[in-house]
Structure 1
Amino acid sequence: MQQPASVFDCFDMHCHLDFAPDSRTLADELALRGIGCFSMTMAPAAYERACAALDGCANVRVGLGVHPWEVPADDEGRLRELFDAFAPLAAKTRFIGEVGLDFSPRCFGAEDAQTRLFREIAGLCAREGGKVLSIHAVQSASAVLDILEETRCCSRNTCVFHWFSGTSDELKRASDLGCCFSFGPRGLGSRRGRAYAASLPLDQLLLETDAPDAPQPTLEPVPVTAEFVAGPLSFALTELCASRSEYSDTVTATVRNTSARLLSL
C-alpha cells in the first residue's frame, strides 16, 4: 500500500529540540512552517523528559539516545546503568538517536566503553528490527561499520549516519550496507561534504541541522525560535540541490518522501 502524502514540506532528520528552553513552543512553531523533526536525546533520562515535553507534537519523533559523550571511560556501573535504562525504552519505540562512537581527543580513554555499549545497542536493535537509528561517528566510521556488520543491524533497521566525516571508502561501505546520510550546513559547507552528497544514491540522502546548540550552564538561556532550525534547513536543501545533477524539484521531493517514510509522518 502506498504511503499517503506527508502534510510536512521538509524534515530535519537530526536536531535537538530538547536543548531549547521551551521545546514545545519550538516544535509547534516548526509545525506551522511545515517542518517535521527527528529530535535526538543524549541519554535515557533526557529521552523520557523530551517525550513528556513534546507529547502530542504531531511533527516530532523523539529519538532514544545514549550519546558517546555520555559514556564514562572507567565506570562499569554507570555503563551498565545506561544500557539497563536504554533497553526497556527501546522496546517501546522505533526511533533511536543519538547513538554511536566518538574517537576524537574529547573522548580519549572511553573508546572501549563506547564500543561495548554501542555493540549492545546495535545488537538489541538488530534483534527487534523496524527501527531508525541516527548515528554519531566521529573519527570512528570504520569501527561503527564493523559493529553494524557484525550485528547485522542494517538488515532489519534503517541506519542514518549523522554528518558523515569518514573516508570515501567508508562512505561506499556504508552506502552498500543501505545506510542513509543526513547532511546539514556544516557538512555541505565543505568541498568533501558536497562531493559525498553528489556521489550517493538520491534515496539515501536526508537533511539535518543539529540545532539548536546545547545550553551552556554558565550562561543565561537564549530564546530559540523556529528560524534557528528553518534557516539552516533551507540553506542545507539549497546546497544539496546544487551538488546534484537532478532537477531541484526531484531532489526536494525525494528527500522529503524518504524522510516522511522513515518517520511515518
Structure 2
Amino acid sequence: MQQTDDFGCPVIDAHIHLDQYDDEIQPLRLSLAPNGVESVIAVSTHLTSCQKMERISSAAPDLIYPAYGYHPEQPVPSMEQLNELLDWMENHIDSMIAVGEVGLPYYSRLEAEKAGQPFDLDPYISMLEKFIVFAKKHDKPIVLHAVYEDADIACDLLERHQFNKAHFHWFKGSDDTVRRMAENGYYISFTPDLVYEKEIQDLASKYPHDQIMAETDGPWPFEGPFAAHKTHPRMVKDVIRAWCDVTGVKLTAAAELFYRNTRQFYSL
C-alpha cells in the first residue's frame, strides 16, 4: 500500500463510469497513481458498455475493477436482450468485481409523471430482482441506483433474497430508509456534492462509519468548487475531507477508514 501526501494512504474511487470518458480514458487511467488514487470500481450501463469495460480493464487489471449491469435510467430491455446480457455476465464472471450499475428508474419515472405520461415500474423491478438473484448466486456485490422511495423497493428485494452485499451509490432517502439500510449492513458512497449539499452532509453525519465509501460517478459534472473541472477520481479526496468536516474525524483516520471499507466490501 503506497503512502501519499497528508492522507497517509491511497484512495479508491468506488463508482465511476470510466467507459464514458471517450478519448480521455488513457490519460485518466495513467494519472491515477500520481494523484494518490490506487484503483477505481468502474461500472457499466448495458451490454456494449460491459464489453467496453472488459477491454479497458483488461489493459490495467490492478487499477480498474469492472462491474457489469444495466443502468435503470433507460428503456427496459427486451427479455431477449436481458438474457443476452446475463449470459454474457455469466461467461465473464471471473473478470467482474460486482454486478452494477443496476437499480430502479426514479428520475425517468419522475420526468414521465411530470409530463403526464404513464410509466410502468414493474418490468424494472423484475429486472432488478434478476440481477440480485445473479449477484447472490455468484456471491458478487451489487451496485445500486435506487434513491428515495425506490430504495425501499430495493431493500424489499434484497431482504426477500437474504442478500446484503449491497452498495447504494449517491444515495438519498428518508430517515426510516437510512436506518433500515444501515441495520441491514448496506454500504453507501458519497460524491463530491458532499462538499456543498446539506442533504448529503446530513446523511454523512448519521450513517455508520464502517459502511461508507467515496465515489465520483464520473464523468458526471459537479457544482460549487468543482464547476470548472472535469470529474476525476482524485476528487474522492475532496469527498473524504468534506466527510471529516461533517464528522470531526481526523483526515488520516478517515482516509484509512474509507480505504479499508472499500477494500473490504469489494474484496480487493
TM-score normalised by the chain length of structure 2: 0.81
Aligned to 1:162: 169
Candidates 190, 196, 203, aligned match of 1:183 = 190
1:61 maps onto 2:61 in alignment: no
Tell me the alpha carbon deviations over residues 103-133 of structure 1, each in whole angstroms, 9 at most, x when there is no partner: 332476241111001101101211221x222
1:9-158 matched pairs, under 5 angstroms: 9-22=10-23, 23-35=25-37, 36-57=39-60, 58-72=62-76, 75-90=78-93, 93-104=96-107, 105-106=110-111, 109-129=119-139, 131-139=140-148, 140-154=150-164, 158=165
Aligned to 2:240: 237
Aligned to 1:250: 253
Tell me the alpha carbon deviations over residues 113-165 of structure 1, each in whole angstroms, 9 at most, x when there is no partner: 11001101101211221x222210034111010111111121xxx21110111
Aligned equivalents of 2:189 and 2:130: distance in 1?
Answer: 24
CA contact (8 A) 1:15 1:210 kept: yes
- 1:92 to 1:229, Cα distance in 2 relative to 1, 3 A: closer
Aligned equivalents of 1:141 and 1:209: distance in 2?
Answer: 20
One-letter amino acid of the counterpart of residue 60, structure 1: I
Aligned residues: 245
- 1:192 to 1:213, Cα distance in 2 relative to 1, 3 A: closer
1:204 maps onto 2:211 in alignment: yes
2:231 partner SS: helix
CA contact (8 A) 2:195 2:238 kept: no
**Shift of residue 97, structure 1, vs aligned partner:** 1.6
CA contact (8 A) 1:66 1:98 kept: yes
Name structure 1 gaps, 5 residues minimum: 215-225
- 1:12 to 1:234, Cα distance in 2 relative to 1, 3 A: same
Q: Which moved more, 1:201-210 or 1:248-257?
A: 248-257
CA contact (8 A) 1:99 1:118 kept: yes
1:160 partner SS: strand
Superposition CA RMSD, Å: 2.5
**Shift of residue 258, structure 1, vs aligned partner:** 1.4
Candidates 202, 212, 218, aligned match of 1:195 = 202
Aligned-pair identity (%): 22
Aligned equivalents of 1:137 and 1:20: distance in 2?
Answer: 24
1:210 partner SS: coil
CA contact (8 A) 1:71 1:79 kept: no
Q: Which moved more, 1:63-72 or 1:142-151?
A: 63-72
